[in-house]
Chains A and B, each alone.
Chain A
């Protein structure tokens, strides 16, 4: 079989078969893709679903039963069913919006079933006028909508282990999701309550049975925080804080308190369990950092990725996600030779601040063992570090904010696995 002329004329941008991102931006990919398609020999037939009228309409939609295998990976803490985490199956999804049903979860005492008619939010503490807001009242406030990611600060922590965990992209990195969040700018409510000058922090508390609580800097609360009441166009899912959650763009997931019931303006942080004993960063010298809030620049290739299998040599599209809690993704580089050479991936627009950003890169795999990596650079110039650099800087004690480059090994037989490279 002779090689397609088109493939020979493609412009390599880095070693081991990485091709210019232009390939998928122009129409040429479709032509090239045809080279690899094998036509089915069977004659055209009328399938069963064309011989009878389809299903009736339904008041609330569901996905195809053929997609039922796409599931969150649920892991509970011992002796509980509702505490722990479930992870988004990143490898099964495309685009940048996470379906609400597949948004990751992290709960500390299960998912409460809250009656919105009884739920209220109290704003008090160092304010001129303590106020109580009903859900009906909150829904009448001016709303803003933004597509933004949410990431648990413990995401990707499995890669802290001495041995690389053999899991899917979602199994390792699936504590990140991205939604269209709609809510009331928190600053409006705080201005109505009248924050006193000494009020530099805010305690946010949930109405779950752990009354999960975190301290939030007033500057963040007044800048871009919202009380979210809609997710992807509909009211929040119970797992995401129904009927109202705090949403702090770019900040570690735990601070985005779900089932929000109380905001107390304070002079100093309250030093809750989840900002001292947990979600603090122990360093090699034995000292610990409190309040490491923004999630750093990060990316992961979702296709091909861990536990997947390549379908033989040929042209593939590498696809992945990049994000930064400090703003927009400026660039994503991809390597197919374990970081020796890098090429710039195409970013799918719109590239939004503190949102997942989809990147893509054409790759002609020649069938030889390869190591795929991606490296995000955000608009502040922050570069996603290698694993070796991150581990050297932070030590093994560090539990949270793991944002190192992910390496996927592609074996000659096509099996994709997690490696430290």
Chain B
């Protein structure tokens, strides 16, 4: 009886799902399989791997792997500028960088790990990824050159523009 009530509540929202029943062809995923697939990191740091790095170590990685597309010290060109622009967001031509715009430091790690370097993604080690993240944060004067970024410290970094975001999404009322 309890299951029936729950199903009914879900169905009032789930218009398509409840119209039909599935054949149950999903194969149970093991924790090992999930660990191999799950590369996303939440703003609370959930999912950050072991490892660590500093800006000093990150500059070496950046100059070798990132500079060609993002310029010296993250100045940009030919691709996105990564540094500076603080205080420009109300101007007609705002400069949106990690330092001026991005709300979460965890996003830097997540994005570098999943998508960068552009031509050879998924080749940086966790230490290199922490180091590059630290370097980009330090260039933006969000952390110091010797601050160690790891699974514990990175989520605690407060980005300069963090408090300037509002969610436009409103969850529909449950009927």
The answer to whether A287 and B166 touch (CB under 8 A), given A209-B121, A397-B92, is yes
Contact bitstring A374-402, B, C-beta under 8 A = 1, else 0: 00000000000000000000011100000
A267 to chain B, nearest CB (A): 9
Residue of B nearest to A280 (CB): B165
- B-binding segment of A10-18, A216-224, A305-313, A334-342: A216-224
Asked if residues A268 and B26 are in contact (CB atoms below 8 Å), the reply is no
Asked if residues B40 and A187 are in contact (CB atoms below 8 Å), the reply is no
The answer to whether A188 and B89 touch (CB under 8 A), given A287-B165, A288-B164, is no
B140 to chain A, nearest CB (A): 13
- B-binding segment of A125-133, A174-182, A346-354, A404-412: A125-133
Complex Cα distance, B168 from A217, in Å, reads: 12
A216 to chain B, nearest CB (A): 10
A393 to chain B, nearest CB (A): 14
A142 at the B interface (CB under 8 A): yes
Residue of B nearest to A200 (CB): B171
Asked if residues A141 and B22 are in contact (CB atoms below 8 Å), the reply is yes
- A-binding segment of B48-56, B106-114, B131-139, B142-150: B106-114
- B-binding segment of A22-30, A38-46, A74-82, A86-94: A74-82
Contact bitstring A133-147, B, C-beta under 8 A = 1, else 0: 110011011101000
Contact bitstring B24-37, A, C-beta under 8 A = 1, else 0: 11111100011001
Asked if residues A222 and B17 are in contact (CB atoms below 8 Å), the reply is yes
The residue from B107, B114, B118, B121 contacting A271, defined by CB atoms under 8 A apart? B107
B125 at the A interface (CB under 8 A): no
The residue from A109, A133, A140, A287 contacting B164, defined by CB atoms under 8 A apart? A287
Q: What residues of A have a CB within 8 angstroms of the CB of B20 in the complex?
A: 142, 185, 188
Q: What residues of A have a CB within 8 angstroms of the CB of B91 in the complex?
A: 397
A250 to chain B, nearest CB (A): 13
Residue of A nearest to B108 (CB): A273
Q: What residues of A have a CB within 8 angstroms of the CB of B89 in the complex?
A: 282, 286, 288, 397
The answer to whether A189 and B22 touch (CB under 8 A), given A224-B16, A276-B103, A288-B165, is yes
Q: What residues of A have a CB within 8 angstroms of the CB of B14 in the complex?
A: 187, 191, 222-223
B68 to chain A, nearest CB (A): 8
Contact bitstring A108-129, B, C-beta under 8 A = 1, else 0: 1100000000000011100001
The residue from A144, A222, A290 contacting B167, defined by CB atoms under 8 A apart? A290
B142 to chain A, nearest CB (A): 14
The answer to whether A291 and B15 touch (CB under 8 A), given A109-B118, A131-B28, A271-B104, is no
A292 at the B interface (CB under 8 A): yes
B60 to chain A, nearest CB (A): 22
Which residues of chain B (92-128) have a CB below 8 Å from chain A? Answer: 92-94, 96, 98, 101-104, 106-107, 110-111, 114-115, 118, 121-122
Asked if residues A124 and B38 are in contact (CB atoms below 8 Å), the reply is yes
A203 at the B interface (CB under 8 A): yes
Residue of B nearest to A143 (CB): B20
Q: What residues of A have a CB within 8 angstroms of the CB of B41 in the complex?
A: 270
The residue from A80, A189, A223, A291 contacting B169, defined by CB atoms under 8 A apart? A291
Complex Cα distance, B101 from A331, in Å, reads: 39
Q: What residues of B have a CB within 8 angstroms of the CB of A273 in the complex?
A: 107, 110-111, 115
A289 at the B interface (CB under 8 A): yes
The residue from B40, B69, B104 contacting A264, defined by CB atoms under 8 A apart? B40
The residue from B23, B102, B167 contacting A291, defined by CB atoms under 8 A apart? B167
The answer to whether A129 and B28 touch (CB under 8 A), given A122-B37, A270-B42, A286-B90, is yes
Complex Cα distance, B169 from A292, in Å, reads: 6
The residue from B22, B104, B165, B172 contacting A219, defined by CB atoms under 8 A apart? B172
Footprint of A on B, CB under 8 Å?
10, 13-29, 33-34, 37-43, 69, 78-79, 89-94, 96, 98, 101-104, 106-107, 110-111, 114-115, 118, 121-122, 161, 164-169, 171-172
26 contacts between A and B (CB under 8 A): A79-B79, A80-B118, A109-B115, A130-B28, A131-B27, A134-B25, A134-B27, A137-B25, A140-B25, A142-B21, A185-B20, A187-B16, A191-B17, A209-B122, A211-B114, A211-B121, A212-B115, A217-B169, A217-B171, A219-B171, A268-B42, A282-B101, A288-B161, A288-B164, A288-B166, A290-B168
Closest 9 CB pairs of A and B: A187-B17, A131-B26, A78-B78, A137-B25, A185-B16, A291-B169, A211-B114, A130-B29, A210-B115
